Amino acid sequence: MEIIITDTAYDTANDAASRISTFINNKPNSLLCFAAGETPLCVFTILIDLQKKNHVDLSSVYYVGLDEWEGLSQDTKGSCYQVMSDNFYTVAGIPSSRIKRWNGICVSPEDELNDVYQYIIAHGGIDLALLGIGMNGHIGFNEPFTGLPKKCIRVKLDKTTQSVSKKYFDIPTKVSYGLSIGAGELKNSQKIILMATGIHKADIVKSTIELPNDISIPSSLLTDHQNISLLLDKDAASKFSL
Ligand code: GLP
């Protein structure tokens, strides 16, 4: 696994944006999957800036949502789709025909999981996944001990995720389950950019690197991917040893 450590979170985002931009320019019409957490927000800002300077056309590719909180609509502030829409899709002017979004208030989660999976299959799999490491190592909503499921999954959220979720919502919001692309399907991506920034991620970054293929640390299950880059700022990288 390639590990790149930069001085600041901005530098990490800049590196990610540069790689994504190059990828898009080399492979228009590819399928990208971006995490909707706090970590990639600056990547989106830089990508939009690159588009304004005509260095990349962000509408030349397709996007599939990584995950969604079950029970939240696409209009709910703090839902994964809303975060993506407000910080990327709308600002970047991505046509809705280029976006596969999760419906967190679907009547049948089973149908929803299959619908997103079929979209991925129809596009020949994910070409590039930009992923953030959660506080417990989760990737999307692939929680500890979920393993490497292929297809898409409905997962009971663990206590850490439920607690961390408060940062996304303005009003108290109970979340119990998540809908997500399975880690096995993410691992099928041609290219993975895994990101973590901030001192609060230093412990889980250390576990991710020092305990490869540990089922209690979902991010560690990706580290033997043939084309993965782990992008860290120096705070997130402050605890591990190689
Ligand atoms: C969240 C989301 C993921 C996200 C991860 C890290 O709960 N399910 O999509 O990538 O956890 O989030 P953050 O970047 O806010 O730390």
Residue 241: the pLDDT is 82
Active site residues: 67, 136, 138, 143
Closest ligand 1 atom to the C-alpha of 66? Answer: 9
Asked if 196 and 232 count as a contact pair (C-beta separation under 8 A), the reply is: yes
Read off the pLDDT band of 5 (50, 70, 90): very high
Residue 126: the pLDDT is 98
Centroid of ligand 1 to alpha carbon of 25 (angstroms): 27
State pLDDT tens for residues 148-173.
Answer: 999 999 999 999 999 999 999 999 99
Q: Pocket of ligand 1, candidates 88, 164, 193, 222: which has the most ligand atoms within 8 Å of its Cβ, to mutate?
A: 164
Centroid of ligand 1 to alpha carbon of 46 (angstroms): 19
Task: Decide: 78 in ligand 1 pocket, CB within 6 A.
Answer: no
